[in-house]
Structure 1
């Protein structure tokens, strides 16, 4: 067990804590949920950085890191769907969650074919992740209807658009394999 893997496990531990914080009274809920999510986002960046810098990449970390990322984002988005109770929050949240499921399955399938590199993380994917993390942090930290909340929603829509764009790129890269035996 190394430090990058420990940081990934901490991110998973933050998931139930995020849910608990979300249901605290609003004066506690907004800052505590946002801070937990923000800390998780920082550990996401930091564990990858340390694993590369210290050459501590492990099969366990390679498996668990993307799972932890997707779980905390999906849980946070589900909580925000409840808080905002609006199609305007539900649509981008479901686009992001749906894309993560599709791309995870696509990457797993391409890995079975030995072609995982065809669907490696792109710069658009990294920008999407950054926008998504910042928007969720903002949305968790403020009440619906605030100016910061509106900025968070705009950023979530930008992340959802980048999500669709990156999904199309991944599907195009995998398309020859997807239609090979049709």
Structure 2
């Protein structure tokens, strides 16, 4: 799977935050609702933003490496009650239960593949309604020219400076 990005769905009742994965060979995409903290953890790595101190996902990867193992890949294994279940697969074959959003954040930091079970894709994947130019643009997002990458990092930093926790709160439409 390829990471298309993190998006906020503004027309949803609670402004859902989604991470969207795309099939390597196919047209299906897998949208997964995630929390705002996980969204920032994923988006900062995707945008190439260095963090001043290691975050939790960085710490996990560093601990696994320091213990003499490594991370082979992450796998999204099932959907249970609307929740995506994932596993972090270590070099020695050990599988560690994980939330899908945390597994994706770890995979980006460890620079390993994200796999998804076929039955999960059959149950939860969608075909995005984009034309080929849009799809090509999205797929090339990981190979941006330096100027365009710098611009996107700058835009993301501005977003992080403006965003407030209340932007992700569970309020009803009356604002209470």
Shorter-chain TM-score tier: under 0.3
Task: Identify the structure with the greater helix proportion.
Answer: 1
Task: Identify the structure with the greater strand proportion.
Answer: 2
Which one scores higher on RCO, CA 8 angstroms, separation ≥ 6? 1
TM-score with structure 1 length normalisation? 0.23
